[in-house]
Structure 1
């Protein structure tokens, strides 16, 4: 779940390179723009209308200054688009995952939750199919989950994740935790996607797979959001998840399926509680708003935008 815990002015101080080019905004016809990039540590950060701002506090401040309703409200969300759609959410028993389930139920979606264990709230949602015992690091448990999905789903939201809280430096690296994050956050979504697709449980054509990753997986943004490095496992796992999602998008395109990598934004959950002191300055929102943002992007997913990396806060792209 992703956040920019440490931002800096490195972006403003870096050398700017400007050259004319043509680009295609996320949605709409190609338009001529002036492409500006920031180069630092070998990575080029595009400054382009289709890309969001890398500095999290600056992004939120700009959104407030512009009174950007896409960032500050949920007026854009049309829940009717999910009515009677079959949607499966992994890790739907807490945080953003549980908020997604609540929203889907309110929208009238045929909702399935795949999680390690249920809770009182999920048990009380009689209209939701809850499949427990799902460990995204265990291939057998995921295969068993796929068998319990009776009919093809329209949308798969790979939301299950893991975040090791202590800050990792060279002196404090925890290699076991790094491997755990890679397994859960990068390989886990592939286990789930492969099990469901191979079993014919994702609609083809038209099926959508949302990979909930993180802006923390952007290599280009590390010099802005993590100028001193650190947090190796978190960032490596999210970057690997993005690569897996792109490859999945390419392979499934022939089946008429779509895949996108979605940064859900900074949400006020237990996973981000240690960053409570920067929630307000970085624009953290209640998970209910975060869920609407995610579902909005899922509803907009088309074959033309297959394989993109999208910031759900504003609907713009994030560079790799």
Structure 2
């Protein structure tokens, strides 16, 4: 078997130093080394997104977000309306926090409920209640199964196949259902201009990075396999890549974004490594996502970008 990182067989170098392949800058796969490198090089864009972020491009934009009841999605709503845009939440329900934001900003927030990204029959309701075209679609709804999954080498291990399938349904098929319905409903354009399609994915979907981020355990050690999470995000990335090829014919860019490590309920089981891996509060994570959203165009369509440093993540 050839080296998984065929462009560089030095494991230490490939995991802890920035990489350039065919003129494209790639992010560092080792999260701890990536954050340490940012501090060592004083990468202000990585360490403090507010030094480069300009949200003025969101003014008067209509942005539909799935999964905006809490966490990153909720912070996206807050930032969009702060910049003078109109945020539309499409999800199964709302939340007290989202309702409060909507009440405090009349006319800037639309909440569409009853939209389960796993149910194709719910898509028409979303299309009908999204009464105008969109400038941006952000597929943010996701699901991360709590317990760590592993076959168990010298230990018990744990697998939940039902939740693995659910993660694939939510994270990969969900954005496809949403995007498909909105396109066929004529909502992925506004004032004659094609919308941008953003898919929130994860570095967990990179097959190449598994050799760094999922090191082989010693017998009896707990292996952080998280099979469902990684498989679902690999499926997300494949879907987004294919979708970008089709929507290219309509001049609609499809940008996949790893939002970075955010201190949310979804990542709470990894709170013990938040500091060493540079996890940020979700309001900063939202600015990272929106910074890359505003930059996304046809030249980057179909790629996976790390919102921490703006560099590519390999397949």
Could you state the TM-score of these two structures normalised by the residue count of structure 1?
Answer: 0.86
The 2-side partners of 1:67 and 1:212 are apart by 27
Counting only pairs closer than 5 Å after superposition, residues 193-232 of structure 1 correspond to structure 2 as: 193-203=179-189, 205-228=193-216, 230-232=225-227
Equivalent residue for 1:58, pick from 25, 30, 33 = 33
Corresponding residue pairs, total: 287
1:305 match: secondary structure: coil
Structure 2 CA distance for aligned equivalents of residues 143 and 237 of structure 1: 25
Secondary structure in structure 2 of the residue aligned to 1:303: coil
Q: Choose from 57, 70, 73 the match for 1:94.
A: 70
What per-residue deviation string (whole Å, max 9, x for no partner) do you get for residues 187-228 of structure 1? 000000000001000116431011100000000000100113
* Structure 1 spans left out of the alignment, 5+ residues: 1-13, 18-35
Higher relative contact order (CA 8 A, sep 6+): 1
Task: Quickly say closer, same or farther: Cα 1:152–1:15, change in 2 above 3 A.
Answer: closer
2:135 matches 1:154: yes
Residue 18 of structure 2 contacts residue 28 of structure 2 at CA under 8 Å; is this kept in 1? no
Q: In structure 1, what is the equivalent of residue 219 of structure 2?
A: none
C-alpha separation between the residues in 2 aligned to 1:222 and 1:250? 26
Residue pair 1:87, 1:153 contacting (<8 A) in 2 also: yes
Whole-Å separation in 2 of the counterparts to 1:212 and 1:129: 21
How far the C-alpha of 1:184 sits from its partner, in A, is 0.3
* Structure 1 position 121, deviation (Å): 2.4
Shift of 1:37: 2.2
Aligned mate of 1:168, from 149, 165, 168: 149
Q: SS of the residue aligned with 2:42?
A: coil
Coordinate RMSD, CA, aligned: 2.1
Report what 1:252 is aligned to: 247
1:205–1:257 Cα contact (<8 Å) kept: no
Distance 1:249 1:16, change over 3 A: closer
Q: Is the 8 A contact 2:4 2:211 kept in 1?
A: no
Moved more, 251-260 or 137-146: 137-146
Alignment match of 2:44 (pick from 55, 64, 69) = 69
Query: Which residue among 85, 94, 100 is the counterpart of 1:118?
Result: 94
CA distance in 1, matches of 2:253, 2:85: 19
Aligned with 2:257: secondary structure? strand
Q: Secondary structure at the match of 2:299?
A: helix
Query: Distance in 2 between the 1:16 and 1:110 partners?
Result: 43
Q: Distance in 2 between matches of 1:62 and 1:284?
A: 15
Equivalent position of 1:145 in the other structure: 126
TM-score by length of 2: 0.87
